Amino acid sequence: MFAYNTNRTQYLTRLAPMLLAALISGCSVFTSEPPRQQPVKFSELDGWSLDQAISVKPVLMNSCGRLNRSVLNGDSSWGSYEQWQTLCKELRQTPDRQLKDFFELNFVLKRIAPQKKGLFTGYYSPMIAGSLTPSDEYNIPLLKVPHDLVNVRLSDFGLQKQRLVGKVENGYLKP
């Protein structure tokens, strides 16, 4: 996890949810006690590389466009709205070859360890490379949903809570 390190003004101990949300858009639920946070060095992070830093940039830039001034107020342990505006501007101007250093200078990793049993979930949004024109590399088209696709909710017929999907041929539903 990351925490914003404001060497310029003050050391903030927690920013974990902000960058993690940018990375995986997830949520966490813990039992009564808040989780322990332990600082971790970037060198301890499996797979940390320039390629990973480059892949984090567009996700964080997306989050930069959605910063919430009411959440990032003076009481926020994640940093202020103004600090994030500065950080996002610097990130936007940082060349890819310097991104690894950018993250290592501006963020502190935190290992989250709940005191008791906890739940941590995350969500993944795949990005699929493609081309508008066919080539040897992109030779399988992504097609629109067929206009004759039929969805049948079996629960509408008092049956199991499942669906059938297919198309009608000669009066019969075919998968």
129-158: average pLDDT: 88
More confident residue, 92 or 7: 92
Question: What is the model's pLDDT at position 169?
Answer: 92
Which among 136, 172, 73, 64 has a CA at the least distance from the CA of 164?
172
Residue 142 has pLDDT above 50, yes or no: yes
Give residue-wise pLDDT tens across range 88-108: 999 999 999 999 999 999 988
pLDDT exceeds 70 at position 7: no
Element (H, E) at 155: none
- The tens digit of pLDDT for each residue in 24-61 reads 444 545 455 666 778 889 988 888 999 999 999 998 99
Express as a percent the part of the chain with pLDDT over 90: 28
Nearest to 60 by CA among 88, 96, 90: 88
Q: CA-to-CA distance for 158 and 163, rounded, in angstroms? A: 12
Q: With beta carbons less than 8 A apart as the criterion, state whether 42 and 48 touch.
A: yes
Which sequence spans correspond to the domains of the chain? 2-121, 144-175
Please determine, for residue 135, whether its predicted confidence score (pLDDT) is greater than 90.
yes
Average pLDDT over residues 139-143: 87
